[in-house]
Amino acid sequence: MDPGHVSVETIDGISTIRFGHPKGNSLPGSLLAHIASTIDAVAADSASRVIVLRSSDLGPFCAGASFDELRAIADAAGGKEFFMGFARVILAMRRCPKIIIARVHGKTVGGGVGIVAAADYAIATSNASVRLSELAVGIGPFVVGPVIERKIGPGPFQALAIDATNWRDATWAERHGLFAQVVDDSGALDEAVAALAGQLARSNPDAMARLKQIFNEGTDHWATLLPERAAMSGTLVLSPFTRSAIG
């Protein structure tokens, strides 16, 4: 399986973390681990003041979990470990003392929606629709659910989780707080991201770190909750229903 790639570049206090995978910027386990460790490394880098998280330009922003790896899961322990990849990325984003801007250039599915929700500020293009497709394949958005529900509220989260086959457009995502800003195209997206990142890179890092603490109040229990949710998904992915749906 292609492991995908992660790169990081820091210029003038702005660290751009870019991930990519040839299958729709999907997320196999090794790529999730690499993203989480890169966020931790940048969090500790004194040269970095703000993080921009983005994917490769082609195709969707993120197609969610790697179906190749979902098909290859052989037991509950392996299933839990795979879904822990998403948990580790979310936890790394939440504990990072630097503000994370998500640059969302296209459609986002499943775990990718969780990553957008874990960012502190998301800027998206008008074609950046979102969908939580997990129920359609026999599981549920268990690991990413807490961060999405915290960002958009229980009602919109329930709508996304239950209506697993239909897309919600960028206007819907902005209205419910998943996206903080929606722009027309990728050119405007780059301008908006650069303007905000530049502003934050000139801001007081201590003040931004304290803001992050406030943003994340009440999430300490996620260190226990998300592994429990990963185990839930890891068991369900072995069911005949899910095996058939993924196939």
Domains of the chain, by residue range, sit at 5-201
- Residue 239 CB coordination number (10 Å): 12
pLDDT of residue 112: 97
Contacts of 182 (CB under 8 A, 6+ apart): 123, 124, 125, 126, 128, 170, 171, 173, 174
- Rounded distance, CA 177 to CA 141, Å? 18
The pLDDT score that the predictor gives to residue 103 is 98
Cβ(192)–Cβ(198) below 8 Å = no
Name which of 57, 166, 159, 174 is nearest 126 in CA terms: 174
Please tell me the predicted confidence (pLDDT) of residue 24: 93
pLDDT of residue 40: 98
The encoded tokens of residue 235 equal 């068991």
Please give the structure tokens belonging to residue 136. 């359609």
Look-up: residue for tokens 């009602």? 155
Note the pLDDT of residue 67: 86
Distance between CA atoms of 14 and 9, rounded to whole angstroms? 8
Per-residue confidence (pLDDT) for residue 171, from 0 to 100 = 98
Distance, in Å, from the CA atom of 155 to the CA atom of 82, rounded to the nearest integer, reads 28
* Segments of the chain with pLDDT less than 70: 1
Which residues are CB-neighbours of 217 under 8 A, at least 6 positions away? none
DSSP 121: E
- Report the distance separating Cα 128 and Cα 73, nearest Å: 30
> How confident is the model at residue 189, as a pLDDT?
98
Report the CATH fold assignment for 5-201: 2-enoyl-CoA Hydratase; Chain A, domain 1 (3.90.226)
Residues 115, 227 contacting (CB under 8 angstroms)? no
DSSP class of residue 20 equals E
